[in-house]
C-alpha cells in the first residue's frame, strides 16, 4: 500500500488539527476552572465580558499578546525564551499518540481525473507501536522546560521552584511508571489501539483457566486495576503540578515558582503545557481504565454503522468516529472536571509530606499492586489441568 499525496496531506492536517485542538481547549478550561471555582466557593466568577463571561477568553488572549515584554537583565535570554517552548512540546507530543476515536475508512474515489485508492485514517496524531513507552518517554522530558525556566531567569525563587518541580516530577514518575506495569500485565501490550480493543468487548476473564463472560459489564480496566487507577491518577496530579501537588508555585513561599519572571504569551505557553498535561493525564486514564473511546459492549463501530444503513462506508465510518470521539471527549471532560474540583477542595501538601507520599507511600503501594496483579493473573490464567 503506497502512500500518496492525499494521504500525506490528510495526516498532516489531522496532526496539526489535534495540536490546535489542544491549544484551544486551554482557554476553555481556564474559563471552566474560574467559573467552577466560583461555583464551588459560592462566588460569581468572570461574568462581565460576553454571555456567561465566555468572551473573557478572547480578552485574555488580547492581553497575553499585548502585554509588555520583560526579560530579566541578569538572566540568560536564550534559555529564558526557549523554556516556554520546551514546556509546550512534551504534552502535545504525548497527546498525539493517544487514539481519540475509531479509524475512518475512505472508499476509493475519483478526483481531478485520478484514481485515489481506499484509505484508512487513524483518528489520532500518529500511531506509534510502543505507545505507552513513547508517552512515558516524552513526558519525562517535561522536567527540562521547568529547569530551563528556573535557570534562565536567574532568580532564586524561580530556581527553587524549578528544582522543587523537577524533583517532584521525577519522584512521582516512579509511582506512575510502576502503576502502569499493572495495566501492561493485564493487556500484555504497549499499544493503545490493542488496549482499547481489548476493553471494547463484554467483560470476560479467565477464572482458574476457564473463560467467564459477563455480558452486562464492559471489559474496562478499572474493574481489574482499581488500585492502579487511583495510584496513576494521583501521580498524574503531581506530574501536571496541580494542587494538591502544586508546590513549585506555592505563592506563600516562592512567589510564583519557576515562572516568576514570565509574563504575557510566554507565561501562557507554560499554561498550555500544564493544561496539556492535564489533558494527556485524563486521556490516559480513559484509555487505560475506562475503555478509551468505546462506550458500552454493544456500542461498537459495527453497531453504530448498522443504524445508518444506506450510507456509504465513508459516511458511516466518519459518523461512527465522530460519535465515539464525542464519547471519548465526554469521559475526558469528566476527568478534567475532577482535576479542577480537587484543586478547589484540597489544601496543599507540605514539601516533606509530598516527597514522603511519593516515595514511601505510593511507590510501595504500586509495588504491591504489581505483585498482586501478577499473582492473580498467574493463578487465573494458568492452564490448570491442561
Is 204 one of the binding residues for other proteins (CB under 8 A)? no
DSSP 266-327: HHHHHHHHHHHHHHHHHHHHHHHHS-TT--STT--HHHHHHHTTTS-HHHHHHHHHHHHHHH
Stretch that binds other proteins, among 43-51, 127-135, 219-227, 307-315 (CB under 8 A): 127-135
What does the block give as the cell for 131?
505507545
Is 21 one of the binding residues for other proteins (CB under 8 A)? no
Q: Which is nearer to other proteins, 88 or 332 (CB)?
A: 88
Is 246 one of the binding residues for other proteins (CB under 8 A)? no
Please provide residue 102's backbone torsions phi and psi, each rounded to the nearest 5 degrees: -75, 155
Stretch that binds other proteins, among 24-32, 265-273, 290-298, 315-323 (CB under 8 A): 265-273
How far, in Å, are 18, 63, 76, 157, 266 from residue 69 at the CA level?
Answer: 29, 12, 15, 20, 9
DSSP secondary structure letter of residue 69: P
Is 100 one of the binding residues for other proteins (CB under 8 A)? no
How far, in Å, are 30, 44, 45, 222, 385 from residue 48 at the CA level?
Answer: 16, 10, 9, 42, 71
* Interior angle at CA 181, CA 298 and CA 226, nearest 5: 55
Question: Which residues partner with 204 through β-bridges?
Answer: 213
CB of 306 to other proteins, least distance (A): 33
Is 378 one of the binding residues for other proteins (CB under 8 A)? yes
Kindly tell me which residue out of 149, 269, 278, 283 binds other proteins, with binding defined by CB under 8 A: 269
Is 157 one of the binding residues for other proteins (CB under 8 A)? yes
Given the C-alpha cell 459560592, which residue does it identify? Answer: 42
Q: Which is nearer to other proteins, 32 or 377 (CB)?
A: 377
Q: Which of 91, 120, 93, 92 is nearest to 107 (CA)?
A: 120
CB of 136 to other proteins, least distance (A): 6
Kindly tell me which residue out of 43, 210, 306, 382 binds other proteins, with binding defined by CB under 8 A: 382
Is 234 one of the binding residues for other proteins (CB under 8 A)? no
Of 288-347, binders to other proteins (CB under 8 A) are: none
Stretch that binds other proteins, among 50-58, 129-137, 297-305, 337-345 (CB under 8 A): 129-137
Is 88 one of the binding residues for other proteins (CB under 8 A)? yes
Amino acid at each position: 500500500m503506497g502512500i500518496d499525496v492525499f494521504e500525506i496531506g490528510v495526516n498532516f492536517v489531522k496532526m496539526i488539527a489535534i495540536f490546535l485542538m489542544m491549544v484551544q481547549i486551554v482557554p476553555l478550561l481556564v474559563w471552566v476552572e474560574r467559573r467552577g471555582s466560583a461555583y464551588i466557593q459560592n462566588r460569581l466568577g468572570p461574568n462581565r465580558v460576553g454571555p456567561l463571561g465566555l468572551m473573557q477568553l478572547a480578552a485574555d488572549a488580547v492581553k497575553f499578546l499585548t502585554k509588555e515584554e520583560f526579560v530579566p537583565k541578569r538572566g540568560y535570554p536564550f534559555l529564558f525564551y526557549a523554556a516556554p517552548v520546551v514546556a509546550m512540546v512534551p504534552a502535545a507530543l504525548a497527546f498525539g499518540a493517544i487514539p481519540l476515536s475509531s479509524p475512518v475508512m475512505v472508499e476509493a474515489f475519483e478526483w481531478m481525473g485520478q484514481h485515489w485508492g481506499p484509505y484508512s485514517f487513524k483518528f489520532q496524531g500518529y500511531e506509534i507501536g510502543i505507545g505507552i513507552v513513547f508517552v512515558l518517554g516524552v513526558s519525562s522530558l517535561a522536567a527540562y522546560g521547568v529547569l530551563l525556566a528556573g535557570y534562565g531567569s536567574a532568580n532564586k525563587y524561580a530556581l527553587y521552584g524549578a528544582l522543587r518541580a523537577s524533583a517532584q516530577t521525577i519522584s512521582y514518575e516512579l509511582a506512575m511508571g510502576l502503576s502502569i506495569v499493572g495495566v501492561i500485565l493485564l493487556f500484555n501490550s504497549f499499544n493503545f489501539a490493542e488496549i482499547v480493543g481489548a476493553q471494547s468487548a463484554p467483560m470476560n476473564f479467565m477464572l482458574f483457566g476457564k473463560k467467564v463472560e459477563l455480558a452486562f459489564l464492559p471489559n474496562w480496566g478499572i474493574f481489574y486495576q482499581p488500585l492502579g487507577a487511583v495510584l496513576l491518577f494521583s501521580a498524574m496530579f503531581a506530574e501536571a503540578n496541580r494542587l494538591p501537588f502544586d508546590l513549585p508555585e506555592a505563592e506563600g513561599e516562592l512567589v510564583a515558582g519557576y515562572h516568576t519572571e514570565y509574563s504575557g504569551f510566554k507565561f501562557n505557553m507554560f499554561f498550555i503545557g500544564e493544561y496539556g498535561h492535564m489533558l494527556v493525564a485524563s486521556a490516559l486514564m480513559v484509555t487505560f481504565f475506562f475503555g478509551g473511546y468505546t462506550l458500552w459492549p454493544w456500542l461498537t463501530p459495527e453497531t453504530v454503522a448498522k443504524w445508518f444503513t444506506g450510507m456509504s462506508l465513508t459516511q458511516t465510518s466518519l459518523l461512527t468516529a465522530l460519535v465515539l470521539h464525542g464519547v471519548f471527549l465526554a469521559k475526558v471532560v469528566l476527568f478534567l472536571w475532577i482535576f479542577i474540583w480537587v484543586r478547589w477542595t484540597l489544601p496543599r501538601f507540605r514539601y516533606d509530606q509530598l516527597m514522603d507520599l511519593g516515595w514511601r507511600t505510593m511507590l510501595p503501594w504500586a509495588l504491591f499492586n504489581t505483585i498482586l496483579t501478577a499473582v492473580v493473573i498467574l493463578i487465573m490464567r494458568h492452564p490448570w489441568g491442561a
